[in-house]
Structure 1
Amino acid sequence: MRLNHLDLHVPDVARTVAVLTEHFGFRQEFARDGLVVLRDDASLELVISEPVPGFGTTDQLSIGAATYHIGFIVDVPEVVDEIYVRLGSADVQLARPPRAIRGGWLFYCTIPGGIQVEVGCRSIPA
């Protein structure tokens, strides 16, 4: 068995898709009313969609922002730093600059839709 896809519900699908395609290496594969399917070079399928009434019993947007994040990994700390600088002019909210956390070098940001994103590598710069 393998994970087939992730579906993230956001209030503005177009804004979220724009950041993911422009800055995180996804390409759009399919779109229909309120739903876009993205894929990356490793064949990860990420669905960005409007909230669906009846899925769960609470506000999906509020609980989602408080309970999950998605993570991207790169090979070297310098790429983490480059991505952080590049995102400075993007439609994202940057938290602290990259730093050493749990044996890696990483930072967090929030993209449209209230999705927290981690970008990091497993090594710490010398």
Structure 2
Amino acid sequence: MKINHLDLQVADVQATVLHFERLFGLTLESSRNSPAVAIMSDGEGFTLVLQRRNEGETYPERFHFGFLVEDPDRVRAFQALAKSEGFDVSDVIENGRGTLSYLRMPDGLLVEVSNQRRRTHVTEAPTSSST
């Protein structure tokens, strides 16, 4: 099973489209003129749908979604770009999970960009049987 799309409710559809194009490299697949809905693609099979949210609707405080990048330097480059453009972005965090940074979009949506540390699987050595 593979995730197909994510549908997010945002305050300003077209402003959010511009942020996702510039910061995350997504491509707009629908009309640039619609104030109500936008369909975006990552070019690898994932679709992001942005819809205008109803007044007063908000996400739970810790709700977020994330993008994976190839290496820690991409996380650092993303964080620097977002910071230079005046976004509310966390410092780069390095922990047991990897390297990550969180961006708070202008309407409150939280987005994570991370490079996950490779996990190693421990396997037990085969036991020898005596003959």
TM tier relative to shorter chain = 0.7 to 0.9
Paired residues for 1:76-87 under 5 Å: 76-87=71-82
Of the candidates 54, 59, 66, which is equivalent to residue 61 of structure 2? 66
Question: TM-score scaled to structure 1, two decimals?
Answer: 0.80
- SS in structure 2 of the partner of residue 88 of structure 1: helix
1:24: which partner in 2?
Answer: 24
- SS in structure 2 of the partner of residue 72 of structure 1: strand
Q: Contact conserved, 1:91 with 1:112, CA < 8 A, in 2?
A: no
- SS in structure 2 of the partner of residue 82 of structure 1: helix
Structure 2 gap ranges (5+): 119-131
1:42: which partner in 2?
Answer: 44
AA paired with 2:66? Answer: G
Q: Counterparts of 2:28 and 2:18 in 1: how far apart (Å)?
A: 10
- SS in structure 1 of the partner of residue 25 of structure 2: coil
Structure 1 gap ranges (5+): 54-58
Q: Percent identity?
A: 28
Q: Counterparts of 2:61 and 2:70 in 1: how far apart (Å)?
A: 28
Larger C-alpha radius of gyration, 1 or 2?
2
Give the structure with the higher percent helix.
Answer: 1
1:121: which partner in 2?
Answer: 115
Q: Contact conserved, 2:13 with 2:35, CA < 8 A, in 1?
A: no
Q: Deviations over 1:9-39 (max 9, x none)?
A: 1111122111101110100001334111000
AA paired with 1:85? Answer: A
Q: Contact conserved, 2:96 with 2:117, CA < 8 A, in 1?
A: no
Q: Contact conserved, 1:93 with 1:110, CA < 8 A, in 2?
A: yes
Q: Counterparts of 1:109 and 1:33 in 2: how far apart (Å)?
A: 23
Change (3 A) 1:81 1:23: same
Of the candidates 109, 112, 123, which is equivalent to residue 103 of structure 2? 109
Worse-superposed segment, 99-108 or 114-123? 99-108
Change (3 A) 1:109 1:65: farther
Segments ≥4 residues shifted beyond 4 Å: none
Identify which of structures 1 and 2 has the higher relative contact order when contacts are C-alpha pairs closer than 8 Å and 6+ apart.
Answer: 1
AA paired with 2:27? Answer: R
